Amino acid sequence: QQQVKQSPQSLIVQKGGISIINCAYENTAFDYFPWYQQFPGKGPALLIAIRPDVSEKKEGRFTISFNKSAKQFSLHIMDSQPGDSATYFCAASSGSSNSGYALNFGKGTSLLVTP
């Protein structure tokens, strides 16, 4: 059962545009929400992460918006560049030793930024 639902599956954005990827979760025990970027043949790399006590976090061109009541969070990539073309995964984890702190991943979004 997918604990984190991610959309869209794929996204095409023109250079300079805004890329938006959305995720939703059900487990209210989740308290850590990271976004990862993955290039083909490589492991995921952490982009940005947020805790549920804030509604927004910005790092450079990347912003996470978090809506605790709706159990949704999203990634915004401002001024998207061709080098941003990759697969993006949202994830969530619980701060409980029972869960092993394991990350639950969304299905991923393949982003293509056209020149």
Partner 1 sequence: GAVVSQHPSRVICKSGTSVKIECRSLDFQATTMFWYRQFPKQSLMLMATSNEGSKATYEQGVEKDKFLINHASLTLSTLTVTSAHPEDSSFYICSAKSGTGRGYTFGSGTRLTVV
Binding site for partner 1 (CB under 8 A): 32, 34, 36, 41-46, 49, 89, 93, 95, 100-108, 110
Report, in Å, the least distance between residue 95 CB and partner 1: 7
Q: Which is nearer to partner 1, 13 or 33 (CB)?
A: 33
CB of 9 to partner 1, least distance (A): 9
Question: Shortest Cβ distance from residue 16 to partner 1 (Å)?
Answer: 27
Closest CA to 3 of 25, 18, 23: 25
Our CB check for partner 1 shows the closer of 83 and 100 to be 100
- Give min distance, CB of 93 to partner 1, in A: 7
- Dihedral of CA atoms 21, 27, 31, 32 in degrees, nearest 10, equals -40
CB nearer to partner 1: pick between 59 and 79: 59
| 14, two tokens | 């023109």
